[in-house]
């Protein structure tokens, strides 16, 4: 994945502020300090587009990053920050719920977990919530450099089992420090960002004919 342009286009707290248009988007969510801002910077090859660990728990907006004018990467506010008050937690929940349930552009929500630790109760709740909305096919395991290579599989297994990931869901290991796992992450995310080409005027007939040819060929193949 070649990132030519990456810019923040909106910090939103309500749907009216989400960017308009039908570009596809992938969102990232995780507990605060999991390494989400670092991961976004690393995936985009930018040093400080997303702010790293400035003031944990303070980011209370949904940040939309426009990439290559083709899709959005969306930074959702983190959860699990100890000093968050009850009303703050409730407004966080409402904001995320509205986003997950209403955003048509949204193709996938990537859950981030720290590769070192068994996912917390809150991680599990978040992931269940994502599954409920039909997301959760990708989990990004951060801070890979903090464990030994010989321990990778053991940690992936704990994450998979604790979150009760469906067998077809994937773990994408990433180290923002060592810049490991970037290409693999994009290989998993890119297919989710494909949108069918809009049919240009005048091409409908060609597409119809091509489809008919394909159907004919398929029939012939079946007969043989």
Ligand X SMILES: Nc1nc2c(ncn2[C@@H]2O[C@H](COP(=O)(O)OP(=O)(O)O)[C@@H](O)[C@H]2O)c(=O)[nH]1
Tell me how far, at minimum, the Cβ of 200 lies from ligand X, in Å: 41
Alpha helices by DSSP H, listed for the chain, are 36-44, 86-102, 121-132, 152-163, 182-189, 204-223
Site for ligand X in 55-74 (CB under 6 A): 56
Nearer to ligand X, 10 or 180 (CB): 180
Least distance (Å) from Mg ion to the CB of residue 209? 51
User: Does position 177 bind ligand X by CB under 6 A?
Assistant: yes
145's contact among Mg ion, ligand X, none, with CB below 5 to 8 A by partner kind, is: ligand X
> What's the token pair of residue 183?
């290409």
The interface partner of residue 146, options being Mg ion, ligand X, none and the CB cut-off 5 to 8 Å by kind, is ligand X
CB of 146 to ligand X, least distance (A): 5
Rule CB under 6 A: say whether 80 interacts with ligand X. no
Nearer to ligand X, 15 or 79 (CB): 79
Residue 41 binding Mg ion, by CB under 5 A: no
Token output for 217: 């060929």
134-158 exposure pattern, b = at least 16 Cβ within 10 A, e = fewer: ebbbbbbbbbbeebeeeeeeebbeb
Cβ atoms within 10 A of the Cβ of 55, count?
9
| Binder of residue 46, out of Mg ion, ligand X, none (CB less than 5 to 8 A by kind) | none
Question: Please, what is the minimum distance in Å from the beta carbon of residue 54 to ligand X?
Answer: 7
Report the run of H or E that residue 26 belongs to, with start and end.
strand 25-30
| Whole-Å CA distances, 187 to 36, 67, 71 | 19, 16, 15
Q: Contact between 37 and Mg ion (CB under 5 A)?
A: yes
Tell me which of 26, 29, 35, 80 binds ligand X, using CB under 6 A. 35
Interatomic CA distance for residues 124 and 126, integer angstroms: 5
Residues 80, 17 contacting (CB under 8 angstroms): no
CB of 171 to ligand X, least distance (A): 15
- The yes or no reply on residue 111 touching ligand X (CB under 6 A) is no
Nearer to ligand X, 23 or 124 (CB): 124
SS3 label, residue 40: helix
Using CB distances below 5 to 8 A depending on partner kind, what does residue 143 bind out of Mg ion, ligand X, none?
A: ligand X
């Amino acid at each position: 994945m070649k990132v030519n342009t990456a810019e923040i286009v909106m910090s939103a707290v309500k749907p009216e502020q989400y960017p308009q248009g039908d570009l596809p988007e992938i969102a990232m969510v995780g507990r605060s300090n999991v390494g989400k801002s670092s991961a976004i910077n690393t995936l985009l090859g930018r040093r400080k587009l997303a702010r790293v660990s400035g003031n944990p728990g303070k980011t209370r907006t949904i940040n939309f990053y426009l990439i290559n004018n083709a899709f959005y990467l969306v930074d959702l506010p983190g959860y699990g920050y100890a000093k968050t008050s009850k009303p703050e937690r409730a407004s966080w929940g409402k904001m995320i719920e509205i986003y997950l349930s209403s955003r048509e552009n949204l193709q996938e929500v990537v859950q981030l977990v720290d590769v070192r630790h068994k996912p917390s109760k809150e991680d599990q709740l978040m992931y269940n919530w994502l599954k409920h909305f039909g997301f959760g096919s990708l989990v990004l395991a951060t801070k890979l450099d903090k464990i030994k290579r010989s321990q990778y599989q053991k940690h992936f297994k704990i994450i998979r089992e604790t979150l009760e990931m469906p067998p077809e869901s994937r773990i994408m290991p990433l180290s923002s420090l060592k810049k490991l796992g970037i290409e693999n992450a994009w290989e998993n995310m890119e297919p989710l960002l494909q949108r069918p080409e809009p049919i240009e005027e005048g091409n409908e007939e060609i597409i119809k004919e091509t489809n008919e040819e394909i159907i004919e060929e398929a029939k012939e193949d079946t007969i043989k």
